[in-house]
């Protein structure tokens, strides 16, 4: 087998973007992905989003250890095991994050990762269909669109948020994030516009990309330099060599697992699992973060929700229209309006996110409430709780131990109570008077702090945004795993480029920031001058 310049592990959000930018620059790339094809109605039809993340064919099937602050519940942790990675099984919501998220990254040691540094990469990756804006991109590979909001409940939610005292915001990915407005999605011409559709297929056309299906077992080294990856391909152990560098983009769960299997991680933990220590990096697998959310559900006084289609005949009609025309309800993820607000005056920027859905149903598509209803997914954005990813053995086939340590900080409970109370305030506004019936969940009798806490303990679910397990920081920071150029500290020829590198979780869904990481990583790897925005010149511009 001919040797590529670069070997990337993981054909997910960041990995696909990185592969495209490297091949576009004339470099040869071998991309290793354990999962199979993303071609199929369950992935490509946006309205079918609840299916792929619950299918072993497409999902790694991870779950947490019993989470002690959530009543000992094990929460599922879906990660994409398919071409496109989690961008092929996610909810397709596109959120850049707040500018202060990235300024916090830089302040915590990630030099060159402030908002002015990342904004040009968000712009480079976007083809935004929302109009013309100095803050947005217009000719990138990733198409970003908005739902048509034909259902009256979408605009009702936006109006109610405004009536409750928050601003309207027509573009939360623009200059300001705060407020209520239309939600954006990686959907184009009625199809899921995953990282595979946006980046991987164009990368293949360059003739510079080799895609290999196999399980990455460990990084190969000669001395301190990474020289390739050992993989299991159909039961055969092979070595895939890299001429220049190896880049791990295998997710915030599998990337730290691979680092530890390769001897990079907390020394004692590696020894306990029979792994020779190459570099003692305690930050590997630490700093694990996520977003939790609850579903506030209400009965609808009018038959306007998606419940009309929540039966075999209705779903069949939606599916047939999508197959024939790529239109109708199947062409939307049904998250078409949203909000970003502050939990209290103590927050200097939004720390609560809303996804509105015109149906009362679980995110996995199960347990629909009987009759017409709607719901808001709501949760705090910047939990102070931190968890870990750890090995359970030195066998690459075994799943890691995932412990988010959810709700382990007192402020988490304060913020979540604020989520519940703010949501009730929104649905109590005049805009909803014609639609809003009884509260299904948590129920009008749940009022005290103790009652709300019990509801959260029993019903909080992951929003599926794990990150932070190989964080970027200063090279002399003992808890950092990669330096600001994403080079793994302590070795040569090895980088990480995925949501593992986030020092702190961003405000909103993580697909956008993950793709941005792949885009920016490419310029670091290619040794190019890094892009930087003039924020003062942009200020106040439409």
pLDDT tens figures, 35-85: 999 999 999 999 999 899 989 999 999 999 999 999 999 999 999 999 999
93 belongs to an annotated ligand binding site: yes
pLDDT for residue 326 is more than 90 = yes
Query: How high is the pLDDT of residue 361?
Result: 86
Q: How confident is the model at residue 474 (pLDDT cuts 50, 70, 90)?
A: very high
CA distance 98 to 179: 12
Angle, CA 465 vertex, CA 267 and CA 347 arms, to 5°: 100
Q: What is the pLDDT of residues 162-176, one digit of tens each?
A: 999 999 999 999 999
Residue 529 falls inside a structural domain = yes
C-beta neighbour count of 476 within 10 angstroms: 9
Tell me the average pLDDT of the chain.
Answer: 96
Q: What percent of the chain has pLDDT over 70?
A: 99
Domain of 327 in residue numbering reads as 148-182+292-380+408-459
Give 451's pLDDT tier (boundaries 50, 70, 90).
very high
pLDDT of residue 540: 87
Burial 420-446 (b: 16+ CB within 10 A, else e): bebbbebbebebbeebbeebbbbeeee
Which CATH number fits the domain that encloses residue 487?
Answer: 3.50.50.60
**Same-domain pairing of 353 and 391:** no
Contact 495, 249 (CB under 8 A): no
Residue 359 has pLDDT above 60, yes or no: yes
Q: Give the model confidence (pLDDT) of 274-315 as tens digits.
A: 999 999 999 999 999 999 999 999 999 999 999 999 889 999
CATH number at residue 307: 3.30.410.40
- Residue 216, domain member (yes or no): yes
What share of the chain has pLDDT > 90, as a percent?
Answer: 96
Both 332 and 434 in a single domain? yes
Cα–Cα dist 58/216, whole Å:
17
Which of 302-316, 379-393, 409-423 is predicted least confidently? 302-316
Q: Does 91 show up as a binding residue in the annotation? A: yes
Instruction: Report if residue 112 sits inside a domain.
Output: no
Which tokens hold the place of 328? 């109708």
Same domain, 54 and 203: yes
Q: Say if residue 262 is in the same domain as residue 300.
A: no
Question: Token digits for 30?
Answer: 């071998």
Residues 491 and 518 in one domain: yes
Are 39 and 527 in contact, with CB atoms under 8 Å apart? Answer: no
* Residue 452, helix vs strand vs coil: helix
Q: Is 324 exposed, middle or buried (0-12, 13-18, 19+ CB in 10 A)?
A: exposed
DSSP per residue, 502-519: -SS--SS-SHHHHHHHHH
Q: 256 and 228: one domain?
A: yes
pTM of the predicted model over 0.95: yes
Please check whether residues 325 and 430 belong to one and the same domain: yes
109 falls within a domain: no
**pLDDT for 542:** 86
| Closest CA relative to residue 328, chosen from 38, 48, 88 | 48
In a domain? residue 218? yes
Which residue of the set 176, 409, 465, 524 is catalytic?
A: 465
Q: Are residue 220 and residue 332 in the same domain, yes or no?
A: no
pLDDT digits (tens, 9 = 90+) for 498-533: 999 999 999 999 999 999 999 999 999 999 999 999
- 377 a catalytic residue: no
Q: What is the pLDDT of residue 366?
A: 63
Residues 228, 153, single domain; the answer is no
User: How many domains does the chain contain in total?
Assistant: 2
The answer to whether the annotation marks 472 as part of a ligand binding site is: no
One domain for residues 428 and 493: no
User: Is the same domain home to 174 and 189?
Assistant: no
Q: Is residue 132 part of a domain?
A: no
């Amino acid at each position: 087998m001919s040797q590529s310049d670069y070997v990337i592990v993981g054909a997910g959000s960041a990995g696909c973007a990185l592969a495209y930018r490297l091949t576009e620059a004339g470099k040869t790339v071998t991309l290793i992905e354990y999962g199979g094809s993303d071609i199929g109605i369950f992935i490509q039809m946006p309205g079918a989003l609840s299916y792929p993340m619950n299918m072993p064919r497409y999902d790694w099937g991870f779950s947490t250890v019993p989470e002690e602050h959530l009543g000992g519940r094990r929460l599922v942790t879906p990660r994409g095991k398919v071409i496109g990675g989690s961008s092929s099984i996610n909810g397709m919501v596109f959120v850049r994050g707040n500018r202060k998220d990235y300024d916090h990254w830089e302040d915590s040691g990630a030099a060159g990762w402030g908002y002015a540094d990342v904004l040009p990469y968000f712009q480079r990756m976007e083809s935004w269909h929302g109009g013309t804006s100095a803050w947005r991109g217009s000719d990138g590979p990733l198409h970003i669109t908005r739902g048509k909001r034909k259902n009256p409940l979408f605009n009702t939610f936006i109006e109610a948020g405004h009536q409750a005292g928050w601003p309207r915001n027509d573009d939360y990915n623009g200059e300001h994030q705060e407020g209520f407005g239309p939600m954006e999605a990686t959907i184009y011409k009625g199809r899921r516009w995953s990282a595979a559709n946006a980046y991987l297929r164009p990368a293949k056309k360059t003739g510079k990309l080799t895609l290999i299906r196999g399980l990455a077992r460990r990084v190969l080294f000669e001395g301190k330099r990474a020289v390739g990856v050992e993989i299991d391909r159909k039961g055969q152990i092979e070595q895939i060599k890299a001429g220049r560098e190896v880049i791990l983009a295998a997710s915030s769960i599998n990337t730290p697992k691979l680092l530890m299997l390769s001897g990079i991680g907390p020394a004692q933990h590696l020894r306990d699992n029979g792994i020779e220590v190459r570099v003692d990096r305690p930050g590997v697998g630490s700093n694990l973060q996520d977003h939790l959310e609850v579903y506030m559900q209400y009965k609808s006084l009018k038959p306007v929700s998606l419940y009309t289609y929540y039966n075999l005949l209705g779903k069949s009609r939606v599916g047939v229209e999508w197959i024939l025309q790529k239109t109708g309800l199947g062409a939307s993820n049904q998250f078409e309006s949203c909000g970003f607000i502050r939990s209290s005056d103590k927050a200097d920027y939004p720390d609560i996110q809303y996804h509105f859905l015109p149906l009362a149903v679980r995110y996995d598509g199960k347990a629909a409430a009987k009759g017409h209803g709607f719901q808001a997914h709501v949760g705090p954005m910047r939990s102070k709780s931190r968890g870990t990813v750890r090995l359970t053995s030195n066998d690459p086939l075994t799943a890691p131990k995932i412990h988010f340590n959810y709700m382990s900080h007192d402020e988490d409970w304060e913020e979540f109570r604020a989520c519940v109370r703010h949501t009730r305030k929104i649905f109590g506004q005049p805009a909803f008077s014609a639609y809003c019936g009884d509260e299904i969940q948590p129920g009008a009798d749940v009022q005290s702090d103790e009652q709300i806490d019990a509801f959260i303990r029993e019903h909080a679910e992951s929003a599926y945004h794990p990150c932070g397990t190989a964080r970027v920081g200063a090279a002399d920071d003992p808890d950092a795993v990669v330096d600001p150029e994403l080079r793994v500290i302590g070795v040569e020829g090895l980088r990480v480029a995925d949501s593992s590198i986030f020092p702190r979780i961003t405000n909103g869904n993580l697909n956008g920031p993950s793709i941005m990481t792949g885009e920016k990583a490419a310029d670091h790897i290619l040794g190019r001058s890094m892009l930087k925005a003039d924020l003062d010149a942009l200020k106040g511009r439409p």
